[in-house]
Amino acid sequence: MSFVYDKIMGGKKGLTGLIILATLILIIFPLLLDSFRLNLVGKYLTYAFAAVSLVLLWGHGGILSLGQGIFFGLGGYAMAMFLKLEASSPENTTIQSTPGIPDFMDWNQLTELPWFWEPFSSLTFTVLAVLIIPAAFAYIIGSAMFKRRVGGVYFAIITQVIAVILTVLIVGQQGVTGGINGITDLRTLHGWDITSDSAKTILYFINCGLLLTVILASRFILTSKFGRILLAVRDKEDRVRFSGYDVANFKIFIFCFAAMISAIGGAMFTLQVGFMSPSFVGIVPSIEMVIFAAVGGRMSLIGAVYGTLLINFGKTAFSESFPEMWLFLVGGLFIAVVMLFPNGLAGLWNDHGHHITKKFAFIAKIFSKSAPQIFEKKVEDAR
């Protein structure tokens, strides 16, 4: 038990944080928000997967990837391809010149399904693809870069370029990818209507469950010996190398794991929002994911979730009322986070949180003081 408590829950502090987060997303949001807003929160929480992956990669590994959108997109597209194939069954697409292929392919004069779409008609394959393709892709990038000791700034720039390549490729190959509009009109998962309110609520809870699981798994990695070495690599890579560790393998592993987490987020995004498009793959979304992690606190897994929620709530609120102010605000926030509080919300809480907990401490005190008195009084009364 103590193993689970220390290593996975993260001790008393980690457990409290996790319980508060779980209460918020599993109980408070579903009770307070209508189904439209809840679906919106669900969408934000899928970005949180990418933010959590950046906490592992950037906060603890010192590897800044500006390409988490790649993996988010790969996961999302894999899921979208499966749903699209189901949506374009020959019965649904009889008006097309070639029934049975997705509508955008028909518009682009394709007459047969491309070979790499074929396996996505199986759900098992799709789920495996969501988990394995992004991780395998990350392995290729990671082993090419880290084995040659490319890191830091160069790694950031190269991941960014790969994100650009993928976006341009998706937009350019309209016939097989759906182009700039992405893959739209996704309705059912094995006949289950995912656009209905009840399905969206169920997907929201699945999403929350997966997010909490991912946080637990990440915490397990970080509290293990692996996590310690990762931190050491971040701070003094050469010393770790001279101590006999193969630094590159540690970096490759965490990069693959981060890719897998982001891809799960992408797949859940497609399920909850009902489409996937290249605007979630490129530079801008990838850097936004870094902001989520930075605002939440680059060292804190749970902070990343709050950062994601905060920024996205802000974005929605501002773009409804003052769209012009939003870019100024988020730009300023970026600079402020980097300059003034590099550890983000989680850092602020760690530095100043005890003032707040102190204010509420009197509640605990009343209970702890009055409880014995009441008890003693009762005992006296009984005499």
Partner 1 sequence: MDAYTSSELISIFAMQGFSGISLFSVLLLMALGLAIIFGQMGVINMAHGEFMTVGAYTTYFMATLTETYLPSFMPYYFVFAIIMAFIVAGILGYLVEFAFIRHLYKRPLDTLLATWGLSLIMQQSFRSLFGAREVSPTLPEWLLGSYQPTETIYIPINGMFVLGLTTVITIGTYYLMFKSRWGLRVRATTQNRAMSGAVGINTKKVDRYTFALGCGIAGIAGAAFTTIASTGPTTGTLYIVDTFMVVVFGGAMSLFGTIASAFSIAQTQSILEFFISGSMAKVYTLFALVLILMFKPEGLFASKVRR
Q: How far is CA 286 from CA 143, 262, 383, in A?
A: 21, 11, 71
Judged by CB under 8 A, the stretch of 26-34, 78-86, 100-108, 288-296 that binds partner 1 is 288-296
> Which range touches partner 1 (CB under 8 A), out of 130-138, 224-232, 272-280, 321-329?
321-329
Please identify which residue in 4, 19, 28, 150 interacts with partner 1, judged by CB under 8 A.
150
Q: Closest CB to partner 1 among 90 and 114?
A: 114
- Residue 157 interacts with partner 1 (CB under 8 A)? yes
Binding of partner 1 by 11 (CB under 8 A): no
Stretch that binds partner 1, among 223-231, 239-247, 271-279, 285-293 (CB under 8 A): 285-293
Rounded least distance, CB 113 to partner 1, Å: 22
Helix axes 323-339, 283-296, angle to 10 degrees: 60
DSSP state of 194: T
**What sign for the dihedral angle of Cα 44, 49, 50, 51?**
positive
Q: Is 114 an interacting residue with respect to partner 1 (CB under 8 A)?
A: no
Total number of residues shown for the chain: 383
Q: Does 322 bind partner 1 (CB under 8 A)?
A: no
- Considering only the stretches 83-91, 129-137, 152-160, 306-314, report the one whose residues sit in contact with partner 1 under the rule CB under 8 A: 152-160
Restricting to residues 294-313, which ones interact with partner 1 according to CB under 8 A?
Answer: 294
Please say whether the dihedral angle defined by the alpha carbons of residues 69, 71, 75 and 80, taken in this order, is positive or negative. positive
Residue ranges binding partner 1 (CB under 8 A) = 58, 64, 66, 144-145, 148-150, 152-154, 156-158, 160-162, 164-165, 168-169, 171-172, 283, 287, 290-291, 294, 324, 327-328, 330-335, 337-339, 342
